[in-house]
Amino acid sequence: MNDIKKLYEQWLTSATADEDLIPELKEISGDDDAILDRFYKNLEFGTAGLRGVIGAGTNRMNVYTVNQATQGLADYLNANFEAPSVAIAYDSRIKSEVFAKGAAGVLAANGIKVYIYPELVPTPMLSFAVRRLGCSSGIIITASHNPSKYNGYKCYDPNGYQMTDEAAAETYGYIQKVDMFSDVKTMSFDDALAEDMIDFIEDWLMDEFYEQVLSCRVNPDDIKKADLKVVYTPLNGTGNKPVRKILKKAGISDVVIVKEQEKPDGNFPTCPYPNPEIRQAFECAIKTAEGTDADLLLATDPDCDRVGIAVRDGSDYVLMTGNEVGAMLCEYILSSLKEQGRVPEKPIVVKTIVTTPLVETIASSYGAQTADLLTGFKYIGELVTNLERNGETDRFVLGMEESYGYLRGAHARDKDAVVASMLICEMAAYYKLRGISLKQFMDGIYEKYGMYLNTVLNFAFEGADGMKKMGEIMDGLRNNPPKEIAGSAVVKMSDYKLSFTTDLVSGEKTEITLPKSNVLSYSLPDNSKVIVRPSGTEPKIKVYITACGTTRDDSQKKTEIITDSISDILGV
């Protein structure tokens, strides 16, 4: 604790670059727990970059932790690239623009050319800019769908997806050598702009992005004929202009915006958890839709890389899960391409290992291969990049993850709620012309392929002891694997950290060829499955349950039994 108090005292005298930090530090004087929480560790830099609560301390997002990370990134880039350059974007969160311009000044002071968007834009537009401008890296300031007290800092590699494990580890090595008060080179944003070390990204690049997105349409004429009525909320984030623009370009004119959530606002006053996975995020949209006959409600998260939907069901609106939207897009795109005779040779659908196996069932019915990759869209981006290098980009039909992230097209190497919003609306228009709602369409998929009910459990572990507790739980599962879950024997266990799958019936072991990851998967006899992994961006353990049954009620009962069982096993 003595070392932590010394750090605290150093910050009290040195952290003067942000007027909010010193008052916060003075306020916690004498509060050992509050000081410990801010200084017991440094924010760790990994493939997801930095993410943390905004505030004072080494375990907080502030100008010092951001600039330290940027100096480390600059040292990495200068060591590995000749004349490196970086694209930068930021979202609507508190201090996002401050952190973005501060990072730009650090890079410029290190002789690195910076291209920065003149206003907040979605994450996929940063991915696009990195590749289009031939940059060595990219930075986006965002904490995705976290509550307003969070912000984050994500780094991209030259291919437009988030840094690989190897590059992130090397960058982190440089970061650890940087004293955040004495080793960071800086220059003002305005000075760097005047010296041509920083350029604003111009409209032509954004126009190219929209053109690429429009090229991903499947039935472009239907979207103009269906008279689709949409209510859209950007959840006070970056999607407001881009999503509205792409829907207008695609031919949808009847779009009502949720006024309370239209303008960028990092406080998210009407939606403390700006996450399109939860119903609360749709409350204002549902209220806006009252008295209308809107077919579809859209919500994009603050950095507009994920999108959720609610669809009309009688007089009410039903939220569709990320797995359901992914399954619908897979069925819609492949069936349309088949109908048009445009299914590519050796088509491939890409999903994460925690995304519903229903997608694989759908894809195989159209002769498409399914690639199951680790959680993290960078792995999907990497696969698309490899296809492009082999001249096989056309094989890529769709990429998805259960947490509401989708990509069609090779314009971005990250999930893209701009293209996904357009395709969801096109899909709704296509089926509306045929007298089918999206709810009915999804029910038809279940009837055709079987009932797959997917549920995600989140167990949070806050504070200094949280990470330790999470590690103990994962070690316990790994060292003493459950032999049964919900009264059913575990028939197969996959350990993605040790890289093998064990058939518990035959005893046979097979190698997992994916990169190592702290993930454990348990298969049950009826094709139900439980996957456990620590979150890469938040202090929580996530449990993914797939319950297979003959009906929704049957699957729901199985889900409840599995939930109780796995909670007991985890001891939470």
Catalytic annotation, residues: 144
Tokens for 391?
Answer: 């001249």
Q: Please compute, for residue 101, the number of CA atoms within 13 A of its CA located in the half-sphere on the CB side.
A: 14
SS3 33: helix
323 near 353, Cβ under 8 Å?
Answer: no
**Nearest in space to 448 (alpha carbons), one of 571, 289, 330, 311:** 330
DSSP 8-state symbol, 42: P
Helix, strand, coil share of the chain (percent; to 5): 40, 20, 40
Angle between helices 63-80 and 96-109 (to 10 degrees): 40
Task: Collect contacts of 463-470 with beta carbons under 8 A, ≥24 apart.
Answer: 463/37, 464/36, 464/37, 464/40, 464/41, 466/539, 467/539, 470/534, 470/539, 470/540, 470/541
Strand runs labelled E in 91-171: 113-116, 137-141, 150-156
Longest dimension (CA), the chain: 71
Beta bridge partners of 88: 116, 139
Residue that has been written with the tokens 């097209």 in this structure: 409
The whole-angstrom separation of Cα 12 and Cα 203 is 43
The whole-angstrom separation of Cα 510 and Cα 177 is 41
359 near 349, Cβ under 8 Å?
Answer: yes
The whole-angstrom separation of Cα 257 and Cα 191 is 39
The whole-angstrom separation of Cα 327 and Cα 233 is 23
The whole-angstrom separation of Cα 283 and Cα 276 is 11
